[in-house]
Amino acid sequence: MNDLIIAYQGVEGAYSHLACKNAYPKSLTIACDTFADAMKLVESGTANLAMIPVENSTAGRVEEMYRLIPELKLNIVKEHFEPVRHCLLGVQGSSLKSIKTVASHPQALAQCYKNISKYGFKAEAKFDTAGSAKEIKKLNDPTKAAIASKLAAKLYDLVILDENFGDKIGNTTRFIVLSNESTTPKYDKKEEFITSLVFNVRDIPAALYKALGGFATNGVNLLKLESYSPKGDLKVSQFHLDIDSHPHHPSFILALEELSFFAKDIKFLGTYRKDSYRVNI
């Protein structure tokens, strides 16, 4: 799509920036300090979409984003899976032997834990992967390295000391694309969809078991179940579901009827097509 403006958290060269370019090659991008800032740009109409990471195959869910999902004002319109190849980057003239500390986002540090330990580097948590690359470029210290993308190395003229610094091959991050628009794609039984929603359970025995029972009895697959404690109340549980279906599918309709008996404050976050990554694995 042409002329799309996509907001993302991070600085130029971040994996979220890379995801924007791979999912929407002709788009314009806006870097933001936080996930909330990126979403606010979409809410205000400054950007059309926000590219937000929610989970990684190595390090698990992006905790901060899952705290924001229950309060989401935007709609999920797409998912995108981005392969992550962590590179160890240093300034010109540095080497593996000269490095003492390595900086990056906590998620990236977690995904490179074994290699960081192997070399005996001191890990420093930073706000962003590409931001760490930008910082070591400014410091120009051969004892400092960053974990970031090849794009970051190119943008900040850094040396790639190890282009496969991640602990696992096949490391992948799942992103959701958020929009102000609330359009639901037309149901087609030949296509595969995901529907995301959040709900609270009623204060009755086995409420969650009963709320989810309708999906089991109607043969509807659940892809994800996340739990939260709403702000200011540890006595109430809120749940996020990714459902392997479309809301117009007959089985989904029946499952939703049962859910409504035992749940309250059901909020749809969006229905979108499965990324080809899911279909091909």
Asked if residue 218 lies in contact with residue 178, where contact means CB atoms within 8 angstroms, the answer is no
DSSP 8-state symbol, 204: S
Token code pair at residue 258:
């049962």
The Cα 86–Cα 274 span in angstroms is: 26
Catalytic: which of 29, 58, 129, 173? 173
Catalytic: which of 35, 81, 165, 175? 175
183 is an active site residue: no
Tokens 């929407």 -> residue: 24
DSSP 8-state symbol, 275: P
Pick from 13, 7, 6, 5: nearest CA to 128: 13
172 is an active site residue: no
The Cα 19–Cα 223 span in angstroms is: 22
Other CB atoms closer than 10 Å to residue 247's CB: what's the count? 15
The Cα 87–Cα 84 span in angstroms is: 9
Which residues are known to be catalytic? 173, 175
